[in-house]
Amino acid sequence: MRILVTGGAGFIGSHLIDRLMEQNHEVICVDNFYTGHKRNLLRWKDHPYFEVIRHDITEEIRLEVDQIYHLACPASPVHYQYNPVKTIKTNVMGTLNMLGLAKRVKARFLLASTSEVYGDPEIHPQPETYRGNVNPIGIRSCYDEGKRVAETLAFDYHRQNDVEIRVARIFNTYGPRMLESDGRVVSNFVVQALRGNPLTIYGDGSQTRSFCYVSDLVEGLMRLMNGDHLGPINLGNPDEYTILELAQAVQNMVNPDVALKYEPLPQDDPRRRKPDIVLAKQLLDWQPTVPLNQGLERTVDDFRQRLGATDELPEPSVAAS
């Protein structure tokens, strides 16, 4: 099968490409390398079934493919807030272009949506039927509302043009190849601990997240793409941890001597986040298998190998998710 992965040089996209290549598919990676890196794809360099195209999906592209995994968009607050207009253009115009491609070539289209469509949720855990509590004019809205519009476009293309769609709502995901300065809480804590710097906790640390290891997420995406269900379907780990608990886990694993430092909570930071994955279990026969401690160990090892000596590690950016 000939498969397009937008954002394929990124954290999740490159792991997905690994799985698709291992299954002997012909894979095309489209990426503008805003947050993606070629190093994530070196394993497949010069492979006859693999192609990389440097391209911004806000501009139209013509390809012949059977499936489209649409992952292209900055996903960490630091990156999507750096250029919010670009972020929403990617979510709206980029998704329009990819859906248009899917319509023309009759490809199946999977949208990598996000748990951020639920905003700061008033229902816990969050089922797919919950319509969310999103601030439409806040500093996160370029991403939150952008993904909500992307979902709207996907379902409208399905209803109006019979495009085969799949919509995944991805909850916090972590693992090897995360950017060291992307502002996500796992990478921030790991980098700070490796440097011997205090772990920065925003708020009092009582806000919760669920952390899904990247291999589990990729398995869920592939099952959704190749199954019979449109979605939206939540993909995430229902094990819920406070930010303080995560900080203490990283502290104990990497450097028990590092201190904890508390800073004010960023605007619109969700208080609780936990996926209801009943639909994923029922319809995809999917649930996460990698426990947090095991996933953190692999993530820490990757940062050590990739970034080398402690004094070479860059200072993390603000963690807001």
Distance separating alpha carbons of residues 183 and 210, to the nearest angstrom: 16
Distance separating alpha carbons of residues 72 and 16, to the nearest angstrom: 13
Distance separating alpha carbons of residues 142 and 91, to the nearest angstrom: 9
Residue 106: how many other CB atoms lie within 10 Å: 11
The H or E element spanning position 165 is strand 165-170
List 143, 157, 174, 241, catalytic entry = 143
Q: What is the DSSP letter of 46?
A: T
Q: Which residues pair with 241 in a beta bridge?
A: 209
From residue 309, how far is each of 194, 298, 313 by CA, in Å? 9, 17, 7
Residue 184: how many other CB atoms lie within 10 Å: 26
Distance separating alpha carbons of residues 63 and 71, to the nearest angstrom: 17
Helices 243-254 and 185-195 sit at what angle, rounded to 10 degrees?
A: 30
Strand ranges, E, within the chain: 2-6, 26-31, 50-54, 67-70, 108-114, 165-170, 173-174, 199-202, 208-210, 212-213, 233-235, 240-242, 260-263
Distance separating alpha carbons of residues 71 and 27, to the nearest angstrom: 14
Token duo for residue 157: 């293309």
Which phi and psi (to 5°) does residue 29 adopt? Answer: -100, 125
Angle at 316 between CA 297 and CA 199, to 5 degrees: 65
Distance separating alpha carbons of residues 190 and 301, to the nearest angstrom: 10
Could you confirm whether 80 is annotated as catalytic? no
Residue in the structure block whose two tokens are 């995560």: 246
Query: Which residues are known to be catalytic?
Result: 143
